[in-house]
Amino acid sequence: MNGPQDVGGRHGFGPVTLEEEDARFHAEWEKRVLGITLASAALGYWNIDASRHARESLAPAIYYNASYYEIWLRALENLLERAGEITRDELAEGHARSPGRRADRCLTAAFVPEVLARGGPTERPGSDPIFAVGDRVRTRNHQPAGHTRLPSYARGHTGVIEALHGVHVYPDSNAHFAGESPCPLYSVRFEARELFGEDADPTLSVSIDAWEPYLERA
């Protein structure tokens, strides 16, 4: 969707500030948000793509005024409310009025290292790719109301396939519980001027990962 998260190539958001790789948290409460998010995902109501979509569906006024983990927390509140695990009154009061509906699926501390180490593998068996390394492709200019991993600045542009990554869960389908719909995933390289016009640095290029439904032969 063309939500507040899709800001690549846009002006007015200031420079990208790089941080040290080990600066993962800026406050203790952020660690708690990560822990709650992991524990809540274990309840089985949603998948990783649905959780991403919940974050990008936040109102721009909320999204742009929130830090990274605040965005996670706001989206998690909405996901848990939709699942019937919490209510707005409980959030306002700061405590639960009734036990959770899936207490039997609780993620205990002992299993956290295993869950983190496993991650969220997305590779699946599926169809052979229709494109090969070196092929010129054009991204489709689609404007979906739902989730997509194709950034708006790369839509309708021509690039070159530079890598094949196998077959993976298609997030545009998975985010809406319409099935994993596995399909080939590619890396596509675009010249900066193709994406951003003649004023872009001619020595630069941008590579994105793109699922096959995003692409057509140029």
**pLDDT recorded at residue 197:** 95
CATH number of the domain where residue 86 is located: 1.10.472.20
Q: Do residue 84 and residue 155 come from a single domain?
A: no
Q: Do residue 111 and residue 159 come from a single domain?
A: no
Q: Do residue 142 and residue 199 come from a single domain?
A: yes
Q: Do residue 165 and residue 92 come from a single domain?
A: no
Which of 4, 23, 44, 21 has the alpha carbon at shortest distance from 152? 4
Q: Which of 87, 118, 149 is the last residue of a domain?
A: 118
Examine residue 16 and state whether it is found in any structural domain, yes or no.
no
CATH number of the domain where residue 180 is located: 2.30.30.50
Average pLDDT, the chain: 94
Examine residue 36 and state whether it is found in any structural domain, yes or no.
yes
Q: Do residue 98 and residue 157 come from a single domain?
A: no
CB-based contacts of 7, cutoff 8 Å, min separation 6: 13
The rounded percent of the chain whose pLDDT value lies above 70 is 100
**pLDDT recorded at residue 105:** 86
> How many whole angstroms separate alpha carbon 39 and alpha carbon 214?
33
Examine residue 99 and state whether it is found in any structural domain, yes or no.
yes
Structural domain range at position 174:
136-217
Q: Do residue 110 and residue 146 come from a single domain?
A: no
Examine residue 22 and state whether it is found in any structural domain, yes or no.
no
CB-based contacts of 139, cutoff 8 Å, min separation 6: 150, 154, 155, 156, 157, 159, 188, 210, 214, 215
CB-based contacts of 164, cutoff 8 Å, min separation 6: 129, 131, 132, 133, 184, 185, 186
CA angle 172, 177, 181 (to 5 degrees): 55
Could you give the strand order of the β-sheet that contains 136-139, starting from the edge strand earlier in sequence? 205-211, 183-191, 158-168, 136-139, 215-217
Q: Are 216 and 90 within 8 A, CB to CB?
A: no
- Convert the pLDDT of each residue in 108-162 to its tens digit: 888 888 888 888 899 999 999 999 999 999 999 989 999 999 999 999 999 999 9
Examine residue 14 and state whether it is found in any structural domain, yes or no.
no
Q: Do residue 203 and residue 157 come from a single domain?
A: yes
Token match 């489709």: residue?
140
pLDDT truncated to tens, each residue of the chain (218 aa)? 899 999 988 889 888 888 888 888 999 999 999 999 999 999 999 999 999 999 999 999 999 999 999 999 999 999 999 999 999 999 999 999 988 888 788 888 888 888 888 888 999 999 999 999 999 999 999 899 999 999 999 999 999 999 999 999 999 999 999 999 999 999 999 999 999 999 999 999 999 999 999 999 99
